[in-house]
Chains A and B, each alone.
Chain A
Amino acid sequence: MPRSNPSLDMTPMVDLAFLLVTFFMLTSSFRTPEPVVVDPPTSTTKTEIPKQVFMITIDNQGRAFIDLTNPAVKSRVFEKVCNQSGIKVDSMTVKKFAGSGAIGLKITAIPQYLELEANERTKVNQTGVPYDTTGKKSELYWWAYYTRLEAHADFKAREEEAKTRKLPFDKSNYIQFAVKAASDAKYDAVKNVIQVFRDAKVKQFQMITGLESEPSLK
């Protein structure tokens, strides 16, 4: 009686497994740790978030957190804002800031925060970037102001480079301002933050929303 071989040929399955691994490795992007989890409201819009954004997160207590997807621009903005407030930072701190994810602290507290290890950072109770508009320009204003300038400079630099190297240039890749606010945040808080950005001559915002089903007019 012929004995059947108990071992299966698993090559196709393994091939497929590796194919999927490669696919997921290449397509997935990791979420950076966020100091607050914000649940945005839903809408029916289908526009996707731009590639590069200056993200303003507003939680339900009205605290503002800032983040920038482009590390080079982020570090330049940080240097400028520190300069503005008369704080001296070394290149190490700037580098740490560029890779730190969203931050909602006073500028004076940021270098100290960056000294901490990642797991200690989550324990810090962040107070939000101050944006109180009474009196002189708030810190958030300077973040907005320098980001707007640097975003423009970055765009121009890339355009110039594309021209000299005769490469196609993606005009849509401009750093834009995105607002991610908690759905139960007071609108007045969101409005005050936006007001600061309007003072800094930022007029266009991408309001981040969750997905909702197709609407009907009936």
Chain B
Amino acid sequence: MAQIQDNGGGGHGKGDKKRAKKQSTHVDMTPMVDLAFLLLTFFVLTSTFSKPKVLRMIFPEKLDENVKDQKAPEVKDGITLLLTANDKIYYYRGSLKPNTELIPIDYTRTGLRKVLVDYNADMLVKLQDIQKRMNKLDDKDTAAKRKLDEEVLNAQKASKQIVLVKNDEGATYRNMIDVMDEFMITQIAKYYVIDEGMAKLEVDLIKKQGK
């Protein structure tokens, strides 16, 4: 952008004689602009925009080891998910018997999600209904909104749908997060991850039935 000052050549102006050596006010800005673009490119390329997302998990306090007769939650009609190696997952309904049939599923929409959606259908209908009423509400009506939020909480508390999750040493962290995520999506209100993992009978059943 080096400017060549053109002084008109002919010298028509009347001020020509007095102010012939007028200093140019133009500063060469090329290096500055170069630097600006360099910095711009640098920051565009290095900046990370999306903050990582988090899944909140609350673990209960550890059981007191001195109290012996604490049991795992009783499941009568619940679903038990068994997470095992190579991204395999099995489930069964109700309590465990030596002849319980394990049903193999996968982590996709047609697998685990379909099972959970079918299982939790009542709850989903209830929540959709609440959501519809929520959408009809005026934005400023916080009292009514709070009431509906409370209704959601009560529905979750009253939920009879229970899912247990057990894993063996082959299950990965991704498997567990996937399952947790499915619970969020399908609005399962009550789920338990069993600290001890699978029982021996379950391991044997997988060995026998799984391929």
Contact = CB atoms under 8 A, between A and B. Distances in A.
B185 A187 contact: no
Interface residues of A, number: 57
Contact of B36 (A17, A44, A216): A17
Contacts of A191: 195
Contact of B54 (A14, A24, A49, A212): A49
A43 B58 contact: no
Nearest to B51: A48
Interface residues of B, number: 49
A47 B53 contact: yes
Contacts of B169: 186, 188
A41 B174 contact: yes
Nearest to B181: A43
Nearest to B113: A217
Interface in B9-55: 29, 33, 36-37, 39-40, 43-44, 46-48, 50-55
B185 A206 contact: no
Interface string A170-203: 0000000010111111111111001100110101
Interface of B: 1, 3, 29, 33, 36-37, 39-40, 43-44, 46-48, 50-62, 83, 109, 113, 117, 124, 167, 169-178, 180-181, 184-186, 195, 197
Interface of A: 7, 10, 14, 17-18, 20-21, 24-25, 27-31, 40-41, 43-50, 58, 178, 180-191, 194-195, 198-199, 201, 203-212, 215-218
15 contacts: A10-B33, A14-B36, A17-B37, A43-B53, A47-B54, A49-B51, A184-B173, A186-B172, A188-B167, A203-B58, A205-B58, A208-B52, A209-B54, A215-B113, A217-B185
